[in-house]
Every structure is written in C-alpha cells, then in structure tokens.
Amino acid sequence: MLNDEQAHARHFDGARYCVLVDSPTEPTAILDVSRHGIGVEFLDEHLRSRLVYRFITSESGELFLRTILFRKFRGGSEEPAYVTAYIFDVGGEVTVRQERMLPTRHSRITQVAFALENNIEAYPAFGRYERLLNFSRRFAAVFGQAPESDNDADAGVLTRI
C-alpha cells in the first residue's frame, strides 16, 4: 500500500499506481493510473468487475475514452452471463460487441457513429478523480440491447443515448 505522498510522487512522475475507492478491503471501484492512460473498474457487492472504462492519453495530454466493458452476472456466479464491449475510435466510430455467455454463447458485432467530444476528459490532478468515477456516461449514439436473455428482465446491457 502506498501512502498519499508516495502515490502523489508516482502521479507527478507518470508512474503507475492504483486507487481503491471507498475501502481498501471492499472497494466500489479501482482506478489504475499512469501517464499512458487510466482504467476505472466498478465493482459489485461481490467484488466482481461489472463496468470498466479505459481511457488512453492523447498527444495533447487529454484522456480519450477508448473502451467500455460491461458485464452482467447472474446471482453469485463469477462467470458473466452477458458481456458488452464498446471500442471507440478517434475517427468517431464505435464497435459494439455483445455476447451472451449463458446458457449458450451468442455474439453480435455492430458499428455506429458517435460524438467524439463526449469521450474526452481532462487528465485529472492527483486525487481529483470524480469525473472519471462517473458510472453513467452519455453518448450521442444509441446502442442496442443484449441478445435474448431467457426472459431475464434485468439482463440488458448499457444503453447510452
């Protein structure tokens, strides 16, 4: 474990460090910070990674939201029932890969345009991660729902408008 001074020094140097949000033993999120980018992983009550944002650092020093990974679990299972990945391109196109893992594997890939400016964030000052910890982000594109979910009404994936 790093103390604040050690983590601040790593931030200033661009070296990698992690931040456990809310609790060191039962965090609600984990930030993986380096000069090359920042990963934000939101955890559920079972400490499973249910939502991941991956930002890459642009040449101008801003962060570009490159990837979103959403997992839907059933009960206490460690294996996700549904996985949706959004991969954003700096040209304004997003590839959406939706996979139903259980009871049988089924996947679908689509590509749509999106508004690039919604994926840009300022690189945060040390300890100022609030904007990156925004669980619900909005995008100027509409994405589909998960493949058929065996009547599990709560099995939809992130839908952003």
Q: What is the pLDDT of residue 156?
A: 32
Q: How confident is the model at residue 126 (pLDDT cuts 50, 70, 90)?
A: very high
157 pLDDT higher than 70:
no
C-alpha dist (Å) from residue 66 to 6, 77, 87, 93, 110: 28, 28, 6, 11, 16
Helix, strand, or coil (residue 80): strand
- Per residue in 21-57, pLDDT tens? 998 889 999 999 999 999 999 998 899 999 999 999 9
- Per residue in 85-121, pLDDT tens? 999 998 888 898 988 877 777 888 888 887 777 788 9
Helix, strand, or coil (residue 100): strand
How far apart CA 14 and CA 35 sit, in angstroms, is 4
Helix, strand, or coil (residue 102): coil
Cβ-in-10-Å burial (0-12, 13-18, 19+) of 33 comes to buried
Q: What percent of the chain stands above pLDDT 70?
A: 85
Amino acid 155 reads: A
